[in-house]
Structure 1
């Protein structure tokens, strides 16, 4: 592999580009109320955030629910979330400046999310962020969602960058595990979790205001080995 080959940054969307986990949890909680479920959405998302919504919903039912019904519930949750988040859409502090600096430093930039195209547009296009991404990969582009590595492997392949030169930016434990399973290193974005919640990120950040491409490159040189993913979630 040529040493002058660029690195790639692969961003998750929810909780990384935007700090929307509270509204996501509230939308789940309202849906659970309507379905007569007592599950605590915040605790649920601490464990399963990053998975497709239908798969998260499947975990809360005692008996199996048909896939079509789960997708309908997921669509209801999505509508609730959009209403709750409509006037709150804003990027995590420092994001645009970091994206601009990373592109100037030669990084390739991709988005790898479990959201569908409509939801991606709801965020990227409203905030004017799409221009910064060379590749956008959503749930319809992969067979299996996180913590399976499909999302990040597909993004890397479309970027034309080998996994060992990709860095994933994630806010969720399952997303971090997906990165390691894809053979990539990870930056933990702590919009909803604390540093000890993650396994072995290069760095833990609250937002992008203190992160520079130069510092990230230095971290990559200091930590060349990809952590092994945990055997159990």
Structure 2
């Protein structure tokens, strides 16, 4: 990107780098069965995917549950998830090729996820893609997870790129809202929800096959304004289980 200030590409992990939502839902469903809950995990994640697991569980329970117990349940869900996903780990089609091309084109690249450091290693080190990220921000690096802006605001700050020059790749509605709250534009991946569920992405795609850095630049020119987060969508999608 000669003679121009760089742009940054910021990636969510689950559902963006990997297509794992069904396995996440299965792990939650097994946990719910163990706890005697009847919540449908797949439909739940359509609304809440992207939030830290403790926050999702806090919303599921009809009564207050101590934070320590929520953390225990989240750890149990994480163990279940890793067990059933262990032999299934693979990147979304075309990802490494796109990351390599984006770096060559001069983009800064960040990872901003609601997962913790141990889960990060379970995925990106197994896939051998950590080398492509200039910055990795996890739930341990922010005060508030998605749909709050913190994850993406901190990632942009660490990259040294202003929000208006950042593009977020998201599969989740809460993540899309976090991007808009951070003053960024968004490209959606339809791994977790149907394309028409997103609010205002520049593009929704199923994977990175044939996607190029030049296409990102074309989209930025086509969509010069950052959408405002939808208060109505936030209230409908996140607050009711």
**What TM-score comes out, normalization by structure 2 length?**
0.95
Within the alignment, does 1:139 sit opposite 2:139 as a pair?
yes
> Shift in Å at residue 139 of structure 1?
0.4
- Tell me which residue corresponds to 2:188: 188
Partner in structure 1 of residue 92 of structure 2: 92
Q: Could you tell me how far 1:137 is from its partner in structure 2? A: 0.2
Structure 1 spans left out of the alignment, 5+ residues: none
Single out whichever of 191-200 and 90-99 deviates more from structure 2.
191-200
Secondary structure, counterpart of 1:59 in structure 2: helix
- Write the distance in 1 (CA, Å) between the matches of 2:43 and 2:195: 17
- Alignment partners' CA distance in 2, 1:147 and 1:61: 19
Q: 1:2-21 maps to which residues of 2 (within 5 A)?
A: 4-21=4-21
Q: 1:176 is matched with which residue?
A: 176
TM-score, scaled relative to structure 1: 0.98
Please give the secondary structure, in 1, of the residue aligned with 2:147. coil
* Alpha-carbon distance, 1:53 to partner: 0.2
Task: Report whether the alignment pairs 1:211 with 2:180.
Answer: no
1:33-44 alignment to 2 at 5 Å?
33-44=33-44
Tell me the residue number matched to 1:165: 165
Partner of 2:201: 201
Q: Deviation per CA, 1:72-122, whole angstroms, max 9, x where unpaired?
A: 100000000000100000000000000001111110000000000000000
Secondary structure of 2:161's partner? Answer: coil
CA distance, structure 2, for counterparts of residue 216 and residue 171 of structure 1: 17
Partner of 1:79: 79
Give 3-state SS (helix, strand or coil) of 1:127's partner: coil
What CA distance in whole angstroms lies between the structure 2 residues aligned with 1:192 and 1:67? 28
Indicate whether 1:128 and 2:124 are aligned.
no
The residue aligned with 2:225 is: 225
Residue 26 in structure 1 maps to residue 26 in structure 2: yes
In structure 1, C-alpha distance between the alignment counterparts of 2:215 and 2:140, rounded to whole Å: 34
Give, in whole Å, the separation in 2 of the partners of 1:90 and 1:38.
Answer: 30
Match of 1:57 in 2: 57
Partner SS for 1:211: coil
CA distance in 1, matches of 2:101, 2:4: 18
Unaligned runs of 5+ in 2: 235-241
Give the CA deviation at 1:60.
1.1
Would you say 1:148 and 2:160 are equivalent positions?
A: no
